[in-house]
Amino acid sequence: MKTSYDKSTDSLYVEVRALPSSRTVEIEPDIMLDIGSDGLPVGYDIQHASTKTEFIARLILEQAPPAAAE
């Protein structure tokens, strides 16, 4: 996962796979989902990111690899 934040526009892009998107859908206000040709997410474009912290935290937790067993 890679992220890119533009402070001047308060926009965050979260790339979950390094593939081109074939379409984009709005999943909630100010949050666009880029979808690859295989139908799976490739990235999220989040406008007004500083007000979307719950969504961003949930996204990071969902994308994180499972913790290693101790």
Q: Please give the residue range of the domain that contains residue 25.
A: 2-63
The total of structural domains in the chain comes to: 1
pTM: 0.85
Per-residue pLDDT, averaged over 42-65, amounts to 92
CA dist., res. 50 & res. 25, Å (int): 21
Q: How confident is the model at residue 69, as a pLDDT?
A: 47
**Residue 64, pLDDT above cutoff 80:** no
**Residue 15, pLDDT above cutoff 60:** yes
Residue 52 phi/psi, 5° resolution? -115, 35
Per-residue pLDDT, averaged over 40-59, amounts to 95
Whole-number mean pLDDT of the chain?
92
* CA 35 from centre of chain: 11
> In this predicted model, which residue has the larger pLDDT, 21 or 65?
21
Is the CB of residue 49 less than 8 Å from the CB of residue 34? no
- H or E segment to which residue 7 belongs: none
